[in-house]
Chains A and B, each alone.
Chain A
């Protein structure tokens, strides 16, 4: 199984924050257009939020195929229930994806997760360094897979997605203190698993 990493250039589309800042393209306006029958307008919301949601699903499940499926099902669900959105669309759709990931993890226990980035240009100076990185990638995946879903989710949101604790608390409906505890425990568990090799 391999990750296929796609690197989009900035010329492909306007930046997300630019689009959101435009009142005509605010989430609420786009939702109104979709609800009034403009199905294609939903593509704006997909483009706007698919990357962070895909990253979350990918890091939670370790499988690009599963991440794509969860993303697809989540957006279909979001479309079907679009009239029920209260508040921020991005937070609402994130919760759909996060729940999809947790449901998948409940049902499937995976012992080995790995990926390669065939499409991504190498950022490392030497082949040896790249080999080391590939090994670290696999080891980190394996270590993440051993964590309970709640710890993995907190670690991914904090470290991979770069969210603040306040934002995480808002999205997950829990407290900053509880999330700090989860992230700390995830770090300690990961370090215990990996430090012998990588410290």
Chain B
């Protein structure tokens, strides 16, 4: 549980908050601190002491938190942590790898991009042929228009 020793975005201002913060003080926090609207079951949740969060985030040693009201929280989370550690050891069933390999397409993956993003290569012979075709087409259109105008 104490696995994030790199976190530097700490829970500032927890000094002296050795007791649980009330729901009222939670509600008084600026709106910007709340990321999404509170859900149904969260209305029943109580606010954990910032000390407990800091301990769970690996920012404080257990001894600091295991005092006063937070001792009960520490016991609870140590209990949960045993179960969480079990989940951390779960590995992919061995047959899944083979199953995935069998399900892959047989062909190599290709870049699927729209035609306007694809590379457009113009060779000199193609450019000359295109220019000649344009001249012929323009001449044909001009002749057709002249005939029509008469």
- Decide whether A and B assemble into one complex: yes
Residues 10-46 of B at the A interface (beta carbon under 8 Å): 11, 33-36, 39, 41-42, 44-46
Q: Say yes or no: B97 contacts A46, CB within 8 Å.
A: yes
Instruction: Give A81's nearest chain B residue, CB to CB.
Output: B109
Q: Say yes or no: A187 contacts B56, CB within 8 Å.
A: yes
Contact of B88 among A36, A160, A183, A193 (CB under 8 A): A160
Residues 48-101 of A at the B interface (beta carbon under 8 Å): 50-51, 53-55, 58-59, 64, 68, 71-72, 75-76, 79-84
**Given known A50-B96, A176-B7, contact A42–B53 (CB-CB < 8 A):** no
Contact of B42 among A164, A178, A185 (CB under 8 A): A185
Residues of chain B within 8 A (CB-CB) of A107 are none
Residues of chain B within 8 A (CB-CB) of A46 are 97, 100-101
Q: Say yes or no: A199 contacts B91, CB within 8 Å.
A: no
**Given known A6-B91, A68-B96, A180-B9, contact A43–B83 (CB-CB < 8 A):** no
Residues of chain A within 8 A (CB-CB) of B77 are 187, 191
- Write the A168-182 contact mask toward B (1 if CB under 8 angstroms, else 0): 000000001110111
- B69 CB to nearest chain A CB (Å): 12
Q: Say yes or no: B33 contacts A188, CB within 8 Å.
A: no
Q: Say yes or no: B90 contacts A5, CB within 8 Å.
A: yes
Residues of chain A within 8 A (CB-CB) of B46 are 188, 191-192
Residues 64-87 of B at the A interface (beta carbon under 8 Å): 72-73, 75-77, 79-84, 86-87
The verdict on B127 contacting chain A, using a C-beta distance below 8 Å, is no
Q: Say yes or no: B97 contacts A47, CB within 8 Å.
A: yes
Residues of chain B within 8 A (CB-CB) of A140 are 80, 83
Q: Say yes or no: B106 contacts A39, CB within 8 Å.
A: yes
Q: Say yes or no: B80 contacts A161, CB within 8 Å.
A: no
Number of B residues with CB within 8 Å of any CB on chain A: 56
Residues of chain A within 8 A (CB-CB) of B99 are 68, 72
Residues of chain B within 8 A (CB-CB) of A51 are 90-92
Q: Say yes or no: B100 contacts A75, CB within 8 Å.
A: yes
Residues of chain A within 8 A (CB-CB) of B92 are 6, 50-51, 53-54, 71
The verdict on B47 contacting chain A, using a C-beta distance below 8 Å, is yes
Q: Say yes or no: B36 contacts A150, CB within 8 Å.
A: yes
Instruction: Give A198's nearest chain B residue, CB to CB.
Output: B79
Q: Say yes or no: B108 contacts A36, CB within 8 Å.
A: yes
Residues of chain A within 8 A (CB-CB) of B81 are 159
List residues of chain B with CB under 8 Å of any chain A CB.
Answer: 1, 3-4, 6-7, 9, 11, 33-36, 39, 41-42, 44-48, 53, 56-57, 72-73, 75-77, 79-84, 86-94, 96-97, 99-101, 103-106, 108-112
List residues of chain A with CB under 8 Å of any chain B CB.
Answer: 3-8, 34-37, 39-40, 42-43, 46-47, 50-51, 53-55, 58-59, 64, 68, 71-72, 75-76, 79-84, 117, 123, 133, 136-137, 140, 146-148, 150, 158-166, 176-178, 180-185, 187-195, 198-199
